[in-house]
Homo-oligomer: A and B are copies of this chain.
Amino acid sequence: MGLTSPSRCSNVGAVTDEEEGPVGAQEPKRAKRKRRPADRPSTIRDVAAKAGVSVATVSRTLAGNYPVSAETRERVMAAVDSLHYVVNVHAKALSGRVAGPIALVLRDITGPSLAHVAAGVEEEAGSRGRLSLVCSTKDDTKREDDLVQLMREQHAAAVLLVGGTVTDDAYHRRMAGYAKALDSAGSRLVLCGRPPLPAGVPATVVDYDNRGGAFQATAHLLTAGHRRVLFLSGAPGFSSAEERRLGYRDALRAHGVPYADELDTSGDYTRASGYLRTREALSTGVGFTAVFAGSDVVALGALAALREAGLSVPGEVSVVGFDDVPFAADLTPALTTVRVPYEELGRTAVRLALDREVGFASDNHVVLSTQLVIRDSVRPPAG
């Protein structure tokens, strides 16, 4: 089935079913070829044999970059169909060029924001004919090392490291190492949602405006009249957490509200952490009328703690989140939060990495803007 010219093909088939039988006292070179297991996928040579042409002709027919007579093309295509032939990328990569894949390295794809980055990457990569490899590090530095190595082996066109991180000295050394190793292999390190590296390191950075977003969020609360804003930040030293903290303080300063150390807490970007910290702030009685959560997931925990304490939101306490995860609009009350263009982050990262490769001039550092999304979780303070 699938054969467009049965008569010729059955003919060819009859000849080649002999498994390349030597047709005389030719060079025994081909005869030396080891017998392969039968379930091996068919090769271009099988196709050539079945079609009664040389492998070069098959290759050229499939590539379509060389004149081939209609009759030959037909025979080749028939053989391809009947053998279910697909080209072997490894062989192809070894001779002609193939586009390297885009490698996506993240902590955990389960997080809603990271999944959106992945979607953006996949979309942009796919539209440019690239595959996307996804790997998670689970916060293991050794594993990250291995993955970058692995991606180098895979000849990835770019390696995207996604998500905030602790940017200490060891981190910078590690990134510089990755960047150079990848660069020397014609690949590219792309940092997404992280601050830039020192100048001279061959890496591309796509970040978003954590500080500005945090400023808007905090300013929104302050404008509503709040003066005691509990800040539930991320881990100390964690890049996005520190940036958001800066934005928080910027806003306080801009509104002439004194900074209170006891309102500025650090912790994980988890629901549990938000819950615990809010509960503690309530029990120790530091006094606050609003909460700025470092992420929507943290806000979830804060909302739970407030609800548990019998405090109504936004009646008695206002809450703002960060990220605008999909369910933020479906919470009760719908959460006012800061939208981060995660999908665009992924798309931009791929675009920058590849366009650079093609030779277009392009920036090595892009910052996407964030935007406050006002919903129902903020109201002027009760007092």
Count contacts on A: residues with CB < 8 A to the other chain.
Answer: 51
Contact assessment for B89 and A154 in the assembled complex, using a CB-CB cutoff below 8 Å: yes
A66 at the interface (CB under 8 A from B): no
Alpha-carbon separation in the docked complex, A89 to B103 (Å): 15
A150 at the interface (CB under 8 A from B): yes
Contact assessment for B135 and A39 in the assembled complex, using a CB-CB cutoff below 8 Å: no
A50 at the interface (CB under 8 A from B): no
Contact assessment for B94 and A186 in the assembled complex, using a CB-CB cutoff below 8 Å: no
Contact assessment for B109 and A119 in the assembled complex, using a CB-CB cutoff below 8 Å: yes
Min CB distance A148 to B, Å, is 10
Alpha-carbon separation in the docked complex, A348 to B185 (Å): 36
Contact assessment for A155 and B90 in the assembled complex, using a CB-CB cutoff below 8 Å: yes
Chain B residues contacting A307 (CB-CB under 8 Å) are: 332
A60 at the interface (CB under 8 A from B): no
Contact assessment for A116 and B110 in the assembled complex, using a CB-CB cutoff below 8 Å: yes
A173 at the interface (CB under 8 A from B): no
Contact assessment for B186 and A41 in the assembled complex, using a CB-CB cutoff below 8 Å: yes
A365 at the interface (CB under 8 A from B): no
Contact assessment for A109 and B109 in the assembled complex, using a CB-CB cutoff below 8 Å: yes
Chain-B contact segment, one of A126-134, A163-171, A238-246, A250-258: A126-134
A284 at the interface (CB under 8 A from B): no
Q: Bits for A102-124, please: 1 = Cβ < 8 Å to B, else 0.
A: 00000011101001101100110
Min CB distance A106 to B, Å, is 10
Alpha-carbon separation in the docked complex, A181 to B307 (Å): 56
Alpha-carbon separation in the docked complex, A269 to B150 (Å): 38
A window 290-334: CB within 8 A of B = 300, 303-304, 307, 326-327, 330-332
Chain-B contact segment, one of A10-18, A80-88, A193-201: A80-88
Contact assessment for A118 and B122 in the assembled complex, using a CB-CB cutoff below 8 Å: no
Chain B residues contacting A119 (CB-CB under 8 Å) are: 108-110, 136
Chain B residues contacting A86 (CB-CB under 8 Å) are: 149, 152-153, 185
Contact assessment for B90 and A94 in the assembled complex, using a CB-CB cutoff below 8 Å: yes
Chain B residues contacting A135 (CB-CB under 8 Å) are: 122, 126, 131-132
A271 at the interface (CB under 8 A from B): yes
A282 at the interface (CB under 8 A from B): no
Q: Bits for A36-64, please: 1 = Cβ < 8 Å to B, else 0.
A: 00011100000000000000000000000
Chain B residues contacting A154 (CB-CB under 8 Å) are: 89, 131
A184 at the interface (CB under 8 A from B): yes
Alpha-carbon separation in the docked complex, A154 to B129 (Å): 14
Min CB distance A172 to B, Å, is 17
Chain B residues contacting A303 (CB-CB under 8 Å) are: 330
Residue from B89, B131, B134, B152 within 8 A of A155 (CB atoms): B89
Contact assessment for A118 and B93 in the assembled complex, using a CB-CB cutoff below 8 Å: no
Contact assessment for B109 and A181 in the assembled complex, using a CB-CB cutoff below 8 Å: no
Residue from B89, B93, B122, B181 within 8 A of A136 (CB atoms): B122
Alpha-carbon separation in the docked complex, A118 to B132 (Å): 13
A selection of 26 A-B contacts at a CB cut-off of 8 Å is: A41-B152, A41-B155, A41-B185, A84-B181, A86-B149, A86-B153, A86-B185, A87-B153, A88-B94, A88-B153, A88-B155, A89-B153, A90-B90, A90-B91, A90-B93, A91-B94, A109-B115, A110-B119, A115-B115, A119-B136, A131-B133, A131-B150, A132-B133, A134-B134, A300-B327, A331-B331
Known contacts A41-B152, A84-B180, A331-B331; 14 additional CB pairs below 8 A are A86-B185, A88-B94, A89-B153, A90-B93, A94-B94, A101-B133, A109-B118, A109-B119, A109-B122, A112-B112, A122-B134, A271-B330, A327-B330, A331-B332
